[in-house]
């Protein structure tokens, strides 16, 4: 029987899924597909990588949901380049549907599969789903991409208003169009070379009350004041359109964070060089100190600055770090220790459950000063003042660094004032003329 394949990637849900909605309306029976991609899995160094476990749990859930609808999720394990020719041997594929993905590897992969399907005369239909506005949908009057957030967000909101809101694609109402078929086998974590961690993952829900109080509580890491939806947004187990509707109704500051997410995806799309180099080229001239022992102390939460160490220990233990603390530890690494932002970016990429290339790169380049709309190079966060302001009762610090006031706690790796002077001098030297005009 001829089928349409719907290829799930960062959209692991059956509801409000744009590409799936279009597939289910195509007139062809739809068979959903997921590929555990060896190209990605082979780059993970830790066999107990909690993201693979999370992914495996979500794939199992989708598989069960589809079995409940009399269909299945076809799950393959290999490199997409090898899996696709095999699929065409096994099935009579009349069309393929998927949602857009904006990271450089994903773009390359999709171009390759597009060309392959094209040679087989199979159409590959792809749709926007991961963000509200993509690519060049929100640009300046002259058609150029925004590189500053505030005007971008203003135009973003105007576009949304003109569109009458984020809309919805009710794929969940079209379940009768899935291919009726018995459940297909699922590879286990062990078969893919991974082990479970037993870690508890955040639920894919957020309370109205939390969103209403978000503006007041979002910067205090000791509180459960943020949504903790980032891992779900990363894998598309929640719908960005549904969240934007909630943001519009309940919390402008939270809506703005969702817009930052679109903003960084748009930046990565227009300026893919940011994945390797500074957004502002002059910042590639900074002479980083890159001391390995200091980097190790930062990674392990032994810098002697309690708020920095608390953040790194939270990350190492849970795979999450509060946004305010991400900013503090990133500023500390790049400015106090003068370690290349790419080292910190790579460490976060390895550890964060919610790792997302666009947001992570954006966050790191913001902290280092090298990004679009970044913190100016001469703003050097004082970790002690940041802690006093955002963790005044030291509840967050005590949770992660209980020994912070004892003799066993290390002395600061570098005194703040010295680090500040050194950072300013190094940045100035690296940036030359640019720094002088930015400082004025």
Ligand X SMILES: Cc1cc2nc3c(=O)[nH]c(=O)nc-3n(C[C@H](O)[C@H](O)[C@H](O)COP(=O)(O)OP(=O)(O)OC[C@H]3O[C@@H](n4cnc5c(N)ncnc54)[C@H](O)[C@@H]3O)c2cc1C
Please confirm, yes or no, whether 364 is among the known catalytic residues: yes
Closer residue to ligand X, CB minimum distance, 218 or 336: 218
Closer residue to ligand X, CB minimum distance, 348 or 381: 348
Indicate the SS3 state at residue 402. Answer: coil
Q: Could you say which of 13, 51, 109, 261 contacts ligand X (CB under 6 A)?
A: 261
Closer residue to ligand X, CB minimum distance, 98 or 374: 374
Closest CB 206 distance from ligand X, rounded Å: 7
CB-CB contact of 279 with 145 (8 Å): no
What is the dihedral angle through the alpha carbons of 47, 53, 55, 58, rounded to the nearest 10 degrees? 160
Closer residue to ligand X, CB minimum distance, 22 or 51: 51
Closer residue to ligand X, CB minimum distance, 5 or 391: 391
| Contact map string, positions 237 to 256, toward ligand X, x by CB under 6 A | --------------------
368 membership: H or E segment, kind and range = helix 357-368
What is the CA 358 to chain-centroid distance, rounded?
6
State how far the alpha carbon of 330 is from the alpha carbons of 50, 334, 337, 346, 363, in Å. Answer: 23, 6, 10, 12, 8
CB-CB contact of 217 with 207 (8 Å): no
Indicate the SS3 state at residue 74. Answer: strand
Please confirm, yes or no, whether 257 is among the known catalytic residues: yes
State how far the alpha carbon of 299 is from the alpha carbons of 46, 94, 303, 312, 316, in Å. Answer: 16, 50, 9, 6, 8
Per the listing, tokens 């639920």 go with 203
Number of residues that bind ligand X (CB under 6 A): 28
According to DSSP, the residues that pair with 77 across neighbouring strands are 36
Closer residue to ligand X, CB minimum distance, 229 or 387: 229
Binding of ligand X at residue 260 (CB under 6 A)? yes
Per the listing, tokens 């990133």 go with 330
Indicate the SS3 state at residue 6. Answer: strand
Closer residue to ligand X, CB minimum distance, 98 or 358: 358
Q: Could you say which of 7, 21, 152, 264 contacts ligand X (CB under 6 A)?
A: 264
Please confirm, yes or no, whether 341 is among the known catalytic residues: yes
Size of the chain, expressed as the number of residues it contains: 440
CB-CB contact of 322 with 226 (8 Å): yes
Please confirm, yes or no, whether 323 is among the known catalytic residues: yes
Closest CB 62 distance from ligand X, rounded Å: 21
Residues within window 172-231 making contact with ligand X, judged by CB under 6 A = 218, 226-230
- List the catalytic residue out of 288, 316, 382, 438: 288
According to DSSP, the residues that pair with 99 across neighbouring strands are 127
- List the catalytic residue out of 156, 260, 343, 366: 260
| Contact map string, positions 328 to 367, toward ligand X, x by CB under 6 A | --x-----------------x---x-xxx--xx-xxx--x
Closest CB 389 distance from ligand X, rounded Å: 17
Residue range at the interface with ligand X (CB under 6 A); choices 17-25, 319-327, 332-340, 369-377:
319-327
- List the catalytic residue out of 156, 364, 366, 400: 364
Q: Angle formed by the axes of helices 292-300 and 306-318, to 10°?
A: 70
Which residues does 315 contact at the CB level (< 8 Å), separation at least 6? Answer: 321, 348, 351, 352
Q: Could you say which of 23, 250, 327, 431 contacts ligand X (CB under 6 A)?
A: 327
- Which residue is nearest to ligand X, using beta carbons? 363
- Which residues are annotated as catalytic? 257, 260, 288, 323, 341, 364
Q: Which residues would be at the binding site for ligand X (CB under 6 A)?
A: 218, 226-230, 233-234, 257-258, 260-261, 264, 323, 326-327, 330, 348, 352, 354-356, 359-360, 362-364, 367
């Amino acid at each position: 029987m001829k089928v349409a394949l719907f290829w799930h990637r960062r959209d692991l849900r059956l509801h409000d899924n744009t590409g799936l909605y279009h597939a289910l309306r195509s007139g062809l029976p739809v068979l959903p597909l997921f590929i555990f991609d060896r190209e990605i899995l082979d780059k993970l160094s830790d066999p107990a990588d909690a993201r693979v476990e999370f992914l495996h749990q979500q794939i199992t859930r989708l598989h069960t949901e589809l079995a409940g609808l009399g269909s299945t999720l076809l799950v393959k394990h290999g490199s997409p380049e090898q899996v696709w020719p095999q699929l065409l041997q096994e099935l009579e594929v009349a069309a393929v549907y998927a949602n857009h993905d904006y990271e450089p590897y994903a773009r390359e992969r999709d171009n390759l599969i597009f060309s392959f399907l094209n040679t087989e005369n199979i159409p590959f239909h792809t749709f926007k789903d991961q963000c509200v506005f993509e690519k060049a949908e929100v640009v300046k009057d002259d058609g150029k991409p925004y590189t500053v957030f505030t005007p971008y967000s203003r135009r973003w909101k105007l576009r949304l208003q003109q569109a009458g809101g984020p809309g919805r694609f009710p794929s969940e109402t079209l379940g009768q169009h899935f291919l009726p078929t018995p459940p297909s086998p699922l590879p286990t974590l062990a078969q893919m070379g991974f082990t479970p961690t037993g870690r508890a993952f955040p639920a894919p829900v957020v309370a109205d009350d939390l969103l209403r109080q978000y503006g007041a509580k979002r910067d205090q890491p000791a509180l459960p004041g943020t949504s903790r939806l980032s891992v779900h947004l990363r894998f598309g187990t929640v719908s960005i359109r549904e969240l934007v509707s909630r943001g519009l109704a309940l919390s402008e500051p939270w809506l703005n964070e969702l817009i930052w997410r679109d903003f960084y995806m748009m930046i990565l799309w227009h300026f893919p060089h940011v994945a390797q180099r500074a957004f502002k080229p002059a910042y590639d001239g900074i002479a980083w100190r890159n001391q390995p022992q200091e980097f190790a102390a930062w990674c392990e939460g032994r810098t002697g600055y309690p708020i920095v160490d608390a953040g790194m220990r939270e990350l190492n233990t849970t795979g999450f770090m509060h946004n305010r603390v991400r900013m503090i530890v990133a500023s500390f690494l790049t400015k106090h220790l003068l370690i290349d932002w790419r080292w910190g970016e790579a460490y976060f990429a390895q550890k964060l459950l919610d790792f997302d290339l666009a947001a992570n790169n954006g966050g790191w380049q913001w902290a280092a000063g090298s990004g679009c709309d970044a913190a100016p190079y001469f703003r050097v966060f004082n970790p002690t003042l940041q802690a006093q302001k955002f963790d005044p009762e030291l509840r967050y610090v005590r949770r992660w660094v209980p020994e912070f006031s004892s003799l066993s706690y290390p002395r600061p790796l570098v005194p703040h004032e010295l680090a500040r002077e050194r950072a300013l001098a190094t940045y100035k030297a690296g940036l030359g003329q640019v720094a002088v005009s930015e400082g004025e």
